[in-house]
Amino acid sequence: MRYWETEFPNLSPAKNRAGNRVYTEKDINLILEIKRLLYQEKFTIRGARQFFKNSQGNNRSTKRPGPTSGAAVREKQLARKALEDVQDHLEELIDLIRKQK
């Protein structure tokens, strides 16, 4: 989290007299959103930082990006599945080529 504090300027928890970080509910929500963007949505640090920069202008820095309807979510899932299928086929082709050598 300390690393994320250096990468995301809007994540800056206060410190108590002992120098320990004191996270507010807003900080925790932001941390969870950063985690979601990086690990679930596969954003890069730079991409997540850009997302927050863009969303600040819209005053929605803690809202989730992307699809809002069930159809859009399903479309994203289908696209991901199609890409996985292409990857599988390419791996099969690579195996065939290696066997021919």
Residues 31 and 48: their CA atoms lie apart, in Å, by 12
Tell me the one-letter amino acid at 42: K
What's the whole-model pTM score?
0.54
Quickly state the pLDDT bin for 57 (edges 50, 70, 90): low
- E strand segments, the chain: 14-15, 21-22
| Percentage of residues in the chain having pLDDT higher than 90 | 32
Bigger pLDDT: 23 or 74?
A: 23
Identity at 67, one-letter amino acid code: P
Q: Cα 23–48–54 angle (5° rounding)?
A: 100
CA angle 87, 88, 94 (to 5 degrees): 90
Q: Say what the pLDDT of residue 71 is.
A: 66
Going by pLDDT thresholds of 50, 70 and 90, the confidence category of residue 32 is very high
Tell me the average pLDDT across 47-76.
Answer: 67
Element (H, E) at 83: helix 70-100
